[in-house]
Amino acid sequence: MDDALTLAIDGTEPLSAASVKALASICDRAEDLADDHCGASMVTVHVTGAPEGSWTSGLDVMLVTKWERVLRRLERLPMVTVAVASGDCGGPALDVLLATDIRVAAPDVRLLVPRDGSSTWPGMAGYRLVQQAGAGRVRRAVLFGLPISAADAVRLGLVDELADEPAAAVGAAEELVAGLAGKEVAIRRQLLFDATTTSFEDALGPHLAACDRALRGADAAEEPV
């Protein structure tokens, strides 16, 4: 595992400019490696913790905007992303978890949309929860902040597997993605995202373009040296 592509997110820590910078640095590193064709396999993020009390008191919309933008970069990286979750995961920890490709969780994990005062936080974690699991299935979590248990997270597809030994699960993820081209994974990921909101007719062109790209790559690989 490349330590430069590994990050820990503590959801109990207030969102800050340092949080944004740390995640942006990982994205920079992953994008540079993809451009250099170094073959690095994946980004790994360890997430845990959830905000408590008046955790939004130091926030402003500019900082939240920067955080949401760097999350979108993570979600679109030309490299496979893996989250390893434990304990309660809310705030930044939940944001990052929901933006990754492969999600491994300890059996004690709970996913929490944090509350502050009279309401739950209206960030994009709520959007991703609905997109990935359906509005009816996460309604109580988004509206009232009720936790999503580990078993329910797996059942809803928000987590891929529960593991007592995260290191072994990360090793299995590395084997799963070995040999995959990061840029091609990014294209398949975008096709996956678009499938929920795009008509067949509008989706056909991008899928055919991806097929053409794959075929051209296969032809290039078969050309004699």
Taking the domains of the chain in order of start, what are their residue ranges? 3-177, 182-222
Picking from 117, 118, 119, 110, the residue whose alpha carbon sits closest to that of residue 142 is 119
User: How distant is the alpha carbon of residue 144 from its chain centre?
Assistant: 23
Instruction: Determine what percent of the chain falls in helix, strand and coil, rounding each to the nearest 5.
Output: 55, 15, 30
Query: How many angstroms separate the CA atoms of 88 and 48, rounded?
Result: 6
Question: Is the sign of the CA dihedral 89, 81, 27, 191 positive or negative?
Answer: negative
Contact predicate 11/93, CB 8 Å? yes
Q: Bridge-partner residues for 7, per DSSP?
A: 45
Query: How many angstroms separate the CA atoms of 164 and 86, rounded?
Result: 10
Query: How many angstroms separate the CA atoms of 103 and 23, rounded?
Result: 17
Number of neighbouring beta carbons within 10 Å of residue 206: 14
| Beta carbons within 8 Å of 104's beta carbon, 6+ residues apart | 82, 83, 84, 85, 159, 160, 161, 162, 163, 166, 169, 170, 173
- For 48, the enclosing helix (H) or strand (E) is strand 42-49
Backbone φ, ψ for residue 222 (5° rounding): -90, -10
Q: Does the pTM exceed 0.85?
A: yes
Picking from 154, 152, 146, 68, the residue whose alpha carbon sits closest to that of residue 114 is 146
Number of neighbouring beta carbons within 10 Å of residue 43: 26
pLDDT of residue 11: 96
Q: Report whether CATH 3.90.226.10 matches the domain 3-177.
A: yes
pLDDT of residue 211: 92
pLDDT of residue 219: 57
pLDDT tens digit at each of 225 positions of the chain? 567 799 999 999 989 999 999 999 999 999 998 877 665 579 999 999 999 888 888 889 999 999 999 999 999 999 999 999 999 999 999 999 999 999 999 999 999 999 887 899 999 999 999 999 999 999 999 999 999 999 999 999 999 999 998 888 888 888 888 888 888 889 999 999 999 889 999 999 999 999 998 898 765 555 554
